[in-house]
Structure 1
Amino acid sequence: MVDVTKWPMFSLMGLQELSSIRRACVFGTSANEAIYFTHDEEVYVFGLNCSNCLGTGDSQSTIIPKKLDMLSGRMVASLSYGSGPHILLATQDGELFAWGHNGYSQLGNGTTNQGVAPGLVSTNLLNKKVTEVACGSHHSMALTDSGEVYAWGYNNCGQVGSGSTANQPTPRRVSSCLQNKVAVSIVCGQTSSLAVVDNGEVYGWGYNGNGQLGLGNNGNQLTPCRLAALQGLCVQQIVSGYAHSMALTDEGLLYTWGANTYGQLGTGNKSNQLTPVQIMPEKDSRIVEVAACHSTHTSAAKTQSGQVYMWGQCRGQAIVLPQLTHFSCTDDVFACFATPSVMWRLLSVENDDFLTVAESLKNEFDNPETADLTFCVDGKFIYVHKAILKIRCEHFRSMFQSHWNEDMKEVIEIDQFSYPVYHSFLKYLYTDSVDLPPEDAIGLLDLATSYCENRLRRICQNIIKRGITIENAFSLLSAAVRYDAEELEDFCFKFCVNHLTEVTQTFAYWQIDGNLLKDFIGRASRYGAFKN
């Protein structure tokens, strides 16, 4: 499953908010805006709000997600963003909404006024069902369920395919040689446009200065033109970067063309390609997905075996050949290596039923239905699994090997530790984490010392350090001395000295062991605590 918190925009969210997210998109010139859709079909936005791109009705930035009431209950089918930025959103009912930057009429409403809130785009689209949207830097495209392509907005290079370079203020059908074709996919570069039709042919139009239309030249194209170099290939997926393009065929072959300053074509050099060239032919596994977006010079691909490759501009470096990554999806490439770290598509973060080994173990802790061993502490039962305890803890491994009858299912009584402490210890063996207040962490520190669990000792010491107060400082110091935790003892001692007047007035100070008190006073004196 994709982890949306790999994008910094989402890293401040709590678990409850994160679990509500069904789909999400991070966009903007600095990846500073985000939109997400919840399981109950609500839409939220947050971020910098450049050009009113959040659609909240005002120009205010917000780090707290705001709901877009106008879109409540409408399920998203497709979403895209431009450089202004402006946003296009198609619902599953086929409605098209647009908002944000509109200096070139890229919202399709016939004006150049910024869209402060989502507005329905209806001109020439009445009774049409929009299934897919695409944004270039300042132009827009929509695909209908009947395979018609509409375009509007900035047209200085012919990117709306109208045959001229005049801006197009409202949606207009892209015809020319697409007139009798059924388009199945659309995509935009910064100032170029591509479409795939149902027989796998690819058509391009707009800016072509870097060869991003793949036509064999670098002249702009004011109307759609078929990529003859892909003749005989059935293209399944196309994507565009800032000024490069990629196509994936139904046989899993990958072709790239256009700008290559950052190695984004993956050819091993930085030379532009005016016509498509096949890359990665030597890979054992066929390619099943390619990724790019018009905001970046980064490319990625995923193979049938699940390997993810990246190339192009990756964290400022020019990677000229596809580099194998440790990622499990192409989305992670853009989260971690693209500049800006925007999303190349509307991201699906829906949970599936699959649980990792770690998640499964967490779920089985203290489960009487699957447990084969029970501990009784303070009259309460804790249900565990012998095998996990043997794998995770040397104390239990030795205990079971030395005098344990594997056929016996019995209850082990524990009387030297409290229930919260022992429960937390056993849970730690299943989860690698501890959730205890500092006072109880003292007892767990004792257990960790007894069982020679050094990592657990360090965790307990950190909990105690973070939880030290005037009231409990002497108790914690006493515990650190008792359990021979030198680093923790030093930390608690310095805290007590730094707050000496307040600490010596606490109940814990007057309950302290006489010898420990003498040692403390002597050490504090040497430390200079009593000097005027």
Structure 2
Amino acid sequence: MEEELPGFCGESGQPVQATLSSLKMLDVGKWPIFSLCSEEELQSIRQACVFGSAGNEVLYTTVNDEIFVLGTNCSGCLGVGDVQSTIEPRRLDSLTGKKIASLGYGSGPHIVLATTDGEVFTWGHNAYSQLGNGTTNHGLVPCHISTNLSNKHVIEVACGSYHSLVLTSDGEVFAWGYNNSGQVGSGSTANQPIPRRVTGCLQNKVVMNIACGQMCSMAVVDTGEVYVWGYNGNGQLGLGSSGNQPTPCRVAALQGIRVQRVACGYAHTLVLTDEGQVYAWGANSYGQLGTGNKSNQSYPTPVVVEKDRIIEIAACHSAHTSAAKTQGGHVYMWGQCRGQSVVLPHLTHFCCTDDVFACFATPAVTWRLLSVEPDDHLTVAESLKREFDNPDTADLKFLVDGKYIYAHKVLLKIRCEHFRSSLEDSEDDIVEMSEFSYPVFRAFLEYLYTDNISLSPEEAVGLLDLATFYSETRLKKLCQQTIKQGICEENAIALLSAAVKYDAQDLEEFCFRFCINHLTVVTQTSGFAEMDHDLLKNFISKASRVGAFKN
């Protein structure tokens, strides 16, 4: 059974972590609480978080950087100075002008908010010191939390039922609040009234991502390891046991797997690896692990979604629901779905994981802070994107493989050191390019306009060559990222060879690990059979050193 805390009512009131998303034209109207807002109010929303034991509270920001709240105001969680419920949006004056970077809430509910300036504000339920202000009095207005955080820049927050975590820009984790199961990570079970740095195994680690379950805590470090602590009655720590853990402990079963993100439900955990795979563990009474049954798992278990790589995982405090989005844009869900149990990943008709929790979960809350881009105004960046390869406004064209690509001299000189010098005194309006192929050079020019690339991993190798040639460090990193996302058994050796050729050491290590993890299939490919002799020799030597050929 999943343990409930005092004051819980059935499935309600469980913890959630809310982090910033970027979802253009998200339909906030899918959450019932927004039916209380006028059309004009809905049009002004730029960020939103729906929370509370029944999804009956909401905080949102507007185009004017004003913050409004609405709903039942349980435990003063709206932060307006009283406990009166409201069906009319009320402005949160004390935070007007503050920009939100991350927001989390717990079961009371209590709110933890980090601004883009790195400050932390808390309010709401505080019976277990989860506000971090040194008291157990409910907070009716936002309180700036500076103890032990005054010189820190907080970039991410996460809340359990009655405890709180924050992550700083230098990779440190601070925790406070309810600690009956060690979820604060202090080594004891005494509640923690003020922020305290979580040390132990995390002392010299750089943390990249944090998450909280009902009464447990998780951290992903920059090496891809996962550290866990707190309540473990359902195996949600992934340690192969059910004993609580009062200090951070590494999930040893993930050895050799590099995790990028972690997400926690009520009593289960999801992680996403750098190869786009998902592992799950913990409570499974609603099929929320996606394993095809309802048996709890205390070790990480792979979730098979489809051959496409997963780029996003989602879990939330209510309904024991899990969701994932693939690189191809497909959204899957599993676990509790409006009272039913879905024990295997189910393809939905949604385009974002947020809709899973708006439409399938009970209560209808958000699993992260939503960001809604306006559709009636083009930013400078959006305007520049539109002008790429536009012959109507271009003053320069490149002739590559017999085809023209249209560009703008001033933008190229602003964006690229190579063009700044090569176009300085040039009056030519046509430049012939033979060093690189049309798809590669076009992708390079498009990157200068958009900051993004859209290429197959094989073509990204050619762009990696160009990025190396032009000393474009950021583009080089983007190419490596694209190659990582597109690696498979068939092309792994070719991509490994490219990484070696262009001295991309991180990419080389990634491709090597992929080859080792899929060694049987990789060694049967044509790429392996045609492998350069010196590269093959080095590969076999390195594989031998890591024990790849042991029985």
Of 297, 306, 310 in structure 2, the residue corresponding to residue 287 of structure 1 is 310
Confirm or deny that 1:266 pairs with 2:290.
yes
Which amino acid is 1:76 matched to?
A: I
What is residue 341 of structure 2 aligned with on the other side?
318
Of 262, 270, 274 in structure 2, the residue corresponding to residue 250 of structure 1 is 274
Give a deviation string over 1:135-186, Cα, whole Å, max 9, x none: 0000000111110000000000000000000000000000000000000111
Query: Partners of 2:40 and 2:376 in 1: how far apart?
Result: 18
What is residue 215 of structure 2 aligned with on the other side?
191
Query: Partners of 1:161 and 1:352 in 2: how far apart?
Result: 44
- The Cα RMSD (Å) is 1.2
Query: Partners of 2:103 and 2:147 in 1: how far apart?
Result: 19
Q: Displacement, 1:260? A: 0.1
- The worse-fitting range, judged by mean Cα deviation, of 340-349 and 165-174 is 340-349
Query: Partners of 1:197 and 1:117 in 2: how far apart?
Result: 34
TM alignment of 1:400-411, pairs within 5 A: none
Confirm or deny that 1:165 pairs with 2:173.
no
What is residue 234 of structure 1 aligned with on the other side?
258
Which amino acid is 1:347 matched to?
A: L
Is the 1:244–1:258 contact (alpha carbons within 8 Å) kept by the matching residues of 2?
yes
Confirm or deny that 1:336 pairs with 2:336.
no
- The worse-fitting range, judged by mean Cα deviation, of 293-302 and 201-210 is 293-302
Q: Displacement, 1:221? A: 0.1
Which amino acid is 2:75 matched to?
A: S
Structure 1 residue runs of 5 or longer lacking an equivalent are 356-532
What is residue 28 of structure 1 aligned with on the other side?
52
TM alignment of 1:18-417, pairs within 5 A: 18-280=42-304, 283-352=306-375
Which amino acid is 2:345 matched to?
A: P
Query: Partners of 1:340 and 1:152 in 2: how far apart?
Result: 27
Query: Partners of 2:175 and 2:151 in 1: how far apart?
Result: 17
Which amino acid is 2:300 matched to?
A: P
Is the 1:238–1:248 contact (alpha carbons within 8 Å) kept by the matching residues of 2?
yes
Query: Partners of 1:194 and 1:264 in 2: how far apart?
Result: 18
Which amino acid is 1:61 matched to?
A: S
Q: Displacement, 1:16? A: 1.5
Query: Partners of 2:276 and 2:228 in 1: how far apart?
Result: 21
Is the 1:196–1:238 contact (alpha carbons within 8 Å) kept by the matching residues of 2?
yes
Give a deviation string over 1:63-87, Cα, whole Å, max 9, x none: 1000011111110000000000000
Residue aligned with 2:229, SS: strand
Confirm or deny that 1:15 pairs with 2:39.
yes
Query: Partners of 2:375 and 2:151 in 1: how far apart?
Result: 36
Which amino acid is 1:31 matched to?
A: G
Query: Partners of 1:14 and 1:157 in 2: how far apart?
Result: 44
Is the 1:190–1:295 contact (alpha carbons within 8 Å) kept by the matching residues of 2?
no
Is the 1:188–1:294 contact (alpha carbons within 8 Å) kept by the matching residues of 2?
no
Query: Partners of 2:37 and 2:363 in 1: how far apart?
Result: 21
Is the 1:108–1:171 contact (alpha carbons within 8 Å) kept by the matching residues of 2?
yes
Q: Displacement, 1:11? A: 1.8
Runs of 4+ displaced beyond 3 Å: 352-355
User: Which structure's relative contact order is higher, taking Cα pairs within 8 Å and 6+ residues apart?
Assistant: 2
Query: Partners of 1:124 and 1:97 in 2: how far apart?
Result: 14
Residue aligned with 1:11, SS: helix
Q: Displacement, 1:294? A: 2.7
Residue aligned with 2:94, SS: helix
Query: Partners of 1:261 and 1:311 in 2: how far apart?
Result: 12
Query: Partners of 2:323 and 2:26 in 1: how far apart?
Result: 16
Is the 1:21–1:350 contact (alpha carbons within 8 Å) kept by the matching residues of 2?
no
Q: Displacement, 1:353? A: 7.0
Query: Partners of 2:126 and 2:36 in 1: how far apart?
Result: 31
Name the CA shift for 1:46/1:256 in 2 (closer, same or farther; >3 Å).
same
Is the 1:83–1:295 contact (alpha carbons within 8 Å) kept by the matching residues of 2?
no
Query: Partners of 1:42 and 1:354 in 2: how far apart?
Result: 19
Give the TM-score, by structure 2 length. 0.63
Query: Partners of 2:218 and 2:280 in 1: how far apart?
Result: 13
Provide the identity percentage: 70
Q: Displacement, 1:2? A: 1.4
Q: Displacement, 1:352? A: 4.6
Give the TM-score, by structure 1 length. 0.66
